[in-house]
Amino acid sequence: MLAANLGARDYLDRVCEEIRRIDVPQLENVAGLIEQAYRDDRLVFVIGNGGSAANASHLCEDLNKCTLRDFERQKRLKVLSLTDNTAGIMAWANDEGYDRVFIEQLKTYGAEGDLVLAISGSGNSPNVLRAVEWANANGLTTVGITGYSGGTLRELAHHSLHCPVDDMGTAESLHMVAFHWLIGDLYRRISGPVAAGQPA
């Protein structure tokens, strides 16, 4: 736990250093993949555990709402966070095993051409890996969003957004920083640029 060994200033300075290490081409590529899913009228799924589940929910909400300018007439980006079906997750976990909580939802909702954003700080979460394996085998496009070394997910997914920091909390924070840029960039791509001095 990085913050346990650093004062507030040193910790914030370190996080700023890690933000500057985010791979910009990787981040821009993810924006392009989400835009393509929007243009092709495909579903975007987001998955993750623990703090990454919370990030998945947050990203889903922002992609659904904050990419729109005209709430009444504008075509919408179709995004589902598979971390939010609590009863379904608990049923699969209790009856069949926690490693099936995402793959079984993808079998229900997913189709060829859809996009899966798989978030795992370690890159080794079994339920995330099973879902990505199924997605790869069934014509979905997959993105692994990782920390640490990236684990198996970094190699398994078609595309990567990797933040190479050996601290879970910092990795999760970096992911959210990246996601908030994604939201703004996708707003520009979908709804057009924001006029100077005007709120989005």
Domain ranges within the chain, ordered by starting residue = 2-191
Q: Is residue 155 a contact partner of residue 124, using CB atoms and an 8 Å limit?
A: no
pLDDT confidence of residue 193: 81
Tell me which CATH code domain 2-191 carries.
3.40.50.10490
Residue 196 has pLDDT above 70, yes or no: no
Read off the amino acid at residue 147: G
Question: Span 102-107, mean pLDDT?
Answer: 98
pLDDT confidence of residue 200: 56
Other Cβ atoms less than 10 A from the Cβ of 122: the count is: 18
Residue 112 has pLDDT above 60, yes or no: yes
Residue 107: partners with Cβ closer than 8 Å, 6 or more residues away: 134
pLDDT in tens, 135-180: 999 999 999 999 999 999 999 999 999 999 999 999 999 999 999 9
Mean pLDDT lowest for which of 26-30, 98-102, 194-198?
194-198
Helices (H), the chain: 8-20, 24-39, 51-65, 86-95, 103-109, 126-137, 151-156, 168-191
